[in-house]
Amino acid sequence: MPVVIIKAIEGATLEQKETLIEKITEVMRDVLGKNPETTHVILEEVPPENWGLRGKSVAKTRAGK
């Protein structure tokens, strides 16, 4: 039972999330031979103010500060 955990900044649409889950499941099958019926994909969304990059929060960077 493989479990794939993806952490990303909030903002993806439901359709994008569904596509991501589908594609990751396909990759696990195609590359590692894992059964899609037992593959779990967990998307963890993080608010941009809680994600730091280059010494600033993503929220601050997006705001141009």
Where helices occur in 1-65 by DSSP H, the ranges are 14-32, 58-62
Q: Which of 2, 36, 47, 48 is catalytic?
A: 2
36 is catalytic: no
**From CA 17, how far away is CA 10, in angstroms rounded?**
11
**From CA 24, how far away is CA 10, in angstroms rounded?**
18
The residues assigned a catalytic role are 2
